[in-house]
Amino acid sequence: MFEVRDKDLAGRIGRLKTPHGTLETPVLFPVVNPRRQEVPLEEIKRAGFQGIITNAYLIKKYYGREAVEKGVHGILGFDDVVMTDSGAYQILQYGRIEADPREIVEYEEAIGADIAVILDIPTGAASTREEAEYTVEETLRRARLSAKIFRPGERIWVLPIQGGIYLDLVERSAKEASRIEGYGMYAIGSPTPLMEHYEFDTLIEIIYVAKRNLPPSKPVHLFGAGHPMLIPITVAMGIDSFDSASYILYARDERYLTRTGTLRLKNLEYFPCSCPVCSKHTPQELREAPREERVRLLATHNLYVISSILRETKQAIREGRLWELAEEISHAHPSLYRAFQAFASKGEWLELHDPRAKGVVRGIFLYDELSLGRPELVRHRRFMETHYQPPPAETLILLPGDPRDKPYTRSRIYQEARKRWGEKPHYVFYTPFYGTVPEELAETYPYSQFEAPLNPPENVVNKLWEDVKRYLERYREHYSEAIFVYTDKLGWSLKLKKRVARAKTGIMTRKVEVPASRGPAD
């Protein structure tokens, strides 16, 4: 039912086949109240959504047998994909509902949902560890029970992962869930309170633990995550689908979504958007509109913003620049930046999922120490430490790699060095972010396809020194001597010069001043 078409980091573009059509992921299902549609479903479709989510428990409560006869699509008047939640949100809000797991599963089948969630027990942000353990065990019990009831293959059944902020419980929940047959999709439960309190870094940790223990062949849903600024980073962590009522909840509160935040309608003089709503109305016109019309228009705009960021995220996956998109948006709020820090710390795991090559090769942007977590850099360091063997040579010459002058083997500093020492030595470039780059690799991807600052942060320089020192120590028996070349045109090169002078590498070093490849004086 799920086919991956393209990948970047742990994010992917996929095709999710359902009885009422095939969806392209990443996808978001707008939450629709079965009794009160404040935004017409046709308008939701025009905004770019081919699927919605509604509540099977509420449909059962208010429509009962009628929904069985007409089907959920007939009740809603919607002919595309319908996902049904089970009533677990009501359990989270009110403690209990008047329905049992078997009853809800049978009803979701009877009304013909395309994607259906079993009646789980959400953990909730305020749960104690004991309560969280109960939600994990009870949800797993219900999952096993439900798997014996539903008919596999007729629709996609969703198994929620519980545990909340208790990561060991999330791990147990995910591991046990992956062993239960019959489920075509998993979901990470109860993140809404974390998002309301801007604990985005905790959310990243929960996703990481869950994804690490779930089979990669099946899509993973994130409940209640609908703010545009969260979509790129959570997709980069491997989330395939979302649902949210944010579009209408924000509208009722007269809040206006943007890709990086939320604005109050009362404070707007201009709309920073060109969607159909913003193109035809001014903020003043919306403020003067009747309450019902104002909410509908704001909600419609919010839907277009969510749809736009989903398309932007997919394009970033196609182009291999999902990291850049997530990094760009992370600067919209300190809490989101903390989430990006948590994300960047997962570089080793992200590298396992990130494709080594794509059809279109793009350069990468490197900024600070967080860029060290990029899969391309993780892959380079792993190769240098586990697979690289230098060619035979008596002398090692370490040259600074100027990020402005690429490929390094065509730089002036390299040409000058070759004139001075000839072809016999082995030339290795030292450069921020990549560390050590042997001359034989310098013209391959991605050693020439990047942009980086000339004065990187101190942490990046420290990491560069660690890489240089490790290279010298690893191959101390390979070379008879090492020549360390520096330039005063690059500050980080001078810093390493001082460290080389103090280091005890076991290899003789000589420092030779060579003009920079390019600079203000040239």
Window from 97-111, 300-314, 325-339, 369-383 with minimum mean pLDDT = 97-111
8 Å CB contact between 102 and 94 = no
In 3-state terms, what secondary structure has residue 270?
coil
Return d(Cα 187, Cα 225) in angstroms, integer.
Answer: 12
pLDDT at 382: 94
114: annotated active-site residue:
no
Q: Is 370 helix (H, G, I), strand (E, B) or coil?
A: helix
Whole-angstrom distance, CA of residue 361 vs CA of residue 84: 40
Q: Among residues 203, 191, 249, 184, which one has the least CA distance to residue 31?
A: 249
Q: Is the per-residue pLDDT at 479 higher than 60?
A: yes
**Residue 195, pLDDT score:** 76
Residue pair 163/203 in contact (Cβ under 8 Å)? The answer is: no
What is the model's pLDDT at position 92?
A: 61
Burial of 103 per CB tally in 10 Å (0-12, 13-18, 19+): middle
Structure tokens at 196: 């309301």
Least confident piece of the model among 85-94, 171-180, 445-454 = 85-94
- Name the CA dihedral angle for 470, 475, 480, 486, rounded to a multiple of 10 degrees: -30
Residue 519: pLDDT band by 50, 70, 90 thresholds? Answer: very low
Encode burial over 353-374: b for 16+ CB neighbours within 10 A, e otherwise: bbeeeeeeeeebbbeebbbbbb
User: Over 50: is that where the pLDDT of 116 sits?
Assistant: yes
- In this structure, what token pair is assigned to residue 177? 């869930």
Q: Which of 79, 80, 85, 243 is catalytic?
A: 85
Predicted local distance difference test score (pLDDT) of residue 243: 95
Question: What is the distance between the alpha carbons of residues 44 and 50, in angstroms, rounded to a whole number?
Answer: 8
Region 105-110: what's the mean pLDDT?
96
The rounded percent of the chain whose pLDDT value lies above 70 is 93
pLDDT above 50 (res 522): no
Q: How far apart are CA 199 and CA 208, in angstroms?
A: 15
Distance between CA atoms of 488 and 511, rounded to whole angstroms?
Answer: 12
Average pLDDT over residues 284-311: 97
CA distance 74 to 71: 5
The structure tokens 């039912």 sit at: 1
pLDDT digits (tens, 9 = 90+) for 388-436: 999 999 999 999 999 999 999 999 899 999 999 999 999 999 999 999 9
Quote the strand ranges of 152-270, DSSP E.
156-161, 185-188, 220-222, 241-244, 255-258, 261-264
Report how far apart, in Å, the C-alpha atoms of 472 and of each of 209, 419, 430, 481 are: 37, 24, 12, 10
What is the mean predicted confidence (pLDDT) over 170-174? 97
pLDDT number for residue 488 = 83
* Backbone CA torsion sign across 340, 342, 347, 353: negative
**By percentage, how much of the chain surpasses pLDDT 90?**
81
pLDDT band with cut points at 50, 70 and 90 for residue 376: very high
| Overall average pLDDT of the 87-98 stretch | 64
Q: Where are the domains of the chain?
A: 2-349, 368-513
CATH of 368-513, one of 3.10.20.30, 3.40.50.10630, 3.40.190.10, 3.10.450.50: 3.40.50.10630
Sheet with 395-400, strands from edge to edge, namely 435-438, 426-431, 395-400, 481-486, 509-513
3-state secondary structure labels for all residues of 329-359: HHCCCHHHHHHHHHHHCCHHHHHHHCCCCCC
Q: Average pLDDT in the 149-157 region?
A: 90
pLDDT for the residue 518: 52
Its pTM stands at: 0.92
pLDDT at 515: 60
pLDDT at 514: 64
Range with lowest mean pLDDT among 6-10, 360-364, 408-412: 360-364
Does residue 220 contact residue 187 with C-beta atoms inside 8 Å? yes
Residue 521, pLDDT > 50, answer no
The pLDDT assigned to 91 comes to 63
Query: Is the backbone peptide bond immediately before 438 cis, with ω within 30 degrees of 0?
Result: no
Residue 81's SS3 state is strand
pLDDT of residue 94 exceeding 60, the answer is no
Q: Does domain 2-349 have CATH number 3.40.50.180?
A: no
